[in-house]
């Protein structure tokens, strides 16, 4: 292993971490507000990639333009799932809601298989396979784009949570749902809005997954696992923590792949995940919340 190889692995891994941030943000939001591990999130990522594929093919438009159509669709789907399916059982505890989410995940996977078959698909643009050279390192353009978009998306969500009326309602529902309800906050609506926003962020994640990798109906679980690692690393429910966790995971995977080979990329990431949990069980940011 040469120094240049290590530097290349670190740079590419850090930039890929931006993709991890984007795909995990919705999962972090839902857990931070409702304390619900949304196991359907991985399937929403894959569903958004398929919807983008269909819209791009049908309308002949760029996948980025198609995402502007997919995001409101995913928001409506997410809002409906929470309002109609999960809200009615959440008063009975998290276990029924978690089981319902598992059921939705199974239905979603089988629905995508029926609709599009089990073959892998991918999205493409004129620059999705191109790259740039930085410090002598070849970097895919999609990695750079994902890295930049991760900061924009995290910043937008953070401002929404902390500066808007609905964001303050979400924070109130997170900290004390009973008191917030007494003060006039519609908790069921707030939960559904939160899930809808999480699903809408998955639309951007699905776009980047489709442009960077291939996707298939059963791929949701693998992406869910990656999201879960990011969220736990940063601190369950912490938006800044999600940013830190995603970049850390990407960086460690990149360095690990440079040292041991690409076949060990995931293993290195999960080992770092376990190490952080041993040292800081609550993650890097050490608290549960959306601040």
The per-residue pLDDT for range 76-111, each reduced to its tens digit, is 999 999 999 999 998 887 889 999 999 999 999 999
In the 8-state DSSP scheme, what is residue 118?
A: S
Structure tokens at 125: 């643009």
pLDDT tens digits, 64-82: 999 999 999 999 999 999 9
The per-residue pLDDT for 290 is 42
Q: Can you list the residues of the chain whose pLDDT is less than 70? A: 1, 286-291
In the 8-state DSSP scheme, what is residue 89?
A: H
Q: What is the largest CA-CA distance in the chain?
A: 62
The per-residue pLDDT for 238 is 86
Structure tokens at 59: 């309308």
CA 131 to chain centre: 24
The per-residue pLDDT for 286 is 57
Spell out the long-range contacts of 167-170 with Cβ–Cβ below 8 A and sequence spacing 24 or more. Answer: 170/33, 170/194, 170/290
Could you give the CA distance from residue 81 to residue 217 in angstroms, rounded to a whole number? 19
pTM assigned to the model:
0.92
Could you give the CA distance from residue 254 to residue 77 in angstroms, rounded to a whole number? 35
pLDDT tens digits, 134-155: 877 888 899 999 999 999 999 9
């Amino acid at each position: 292993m040469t120094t240049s190889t290590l530097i290349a692995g670190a740079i590419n891994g850090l930039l890929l971490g931006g993709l991890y941030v984007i795909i995990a943000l919705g999962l972090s939001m839902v857990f931070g507000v409702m304390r619900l591990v949304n196991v359907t999130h991985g399937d929403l990522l894959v569903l958004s990639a398929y919807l983008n594929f269909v819209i791009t093919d049908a309308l002949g438009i760029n996948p980025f333009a198609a995402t502007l159509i997919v995001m409101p669709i995913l928001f409506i789907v997410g809002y409906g799932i929470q309002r109609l399916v999960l809200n009615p059982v959440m008063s009975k505890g998290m276990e029924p809601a978690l089981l319902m989410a598992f059921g939705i995940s199974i239905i979603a996977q089988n629905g995508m298989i029926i609709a599009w078959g089990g073959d892998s698909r991918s999205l493409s643009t004129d620059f999705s396979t191109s790259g740039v050279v930085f410090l002598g390192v070849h970097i895919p353009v999609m990695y750079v784009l994902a890295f930049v978009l991760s900061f924009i998306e995290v910043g937008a969500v953070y401002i929404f949570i902390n500066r808007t009326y609905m964001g303050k309602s979400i924070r109130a529902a997170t900290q004390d749902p009973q008191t917030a309800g007494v003060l006039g906050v519609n908790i069921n609506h707030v939960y559904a809005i939160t899930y809808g926003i999480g699903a809408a962020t998955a639309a951007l994640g699905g776009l980047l997954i489709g442009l960077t990798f291939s996707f298939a109906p059963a791929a949701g679980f693998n992406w869910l696992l990656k999201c879960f690692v990011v969220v736990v690393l940063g601190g369950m429910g912490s938006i800044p923590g999600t940013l830190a966790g995603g970049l850390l995971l990407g960086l460690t995977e990149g360095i690990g792949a440079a040292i041991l080979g690409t076949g060990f990329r995931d293993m290195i990431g999960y080992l770092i995940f376990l190490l952080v949990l041993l040292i800081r069980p609550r993650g890097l940011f050490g608290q549960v919340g959306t601040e």
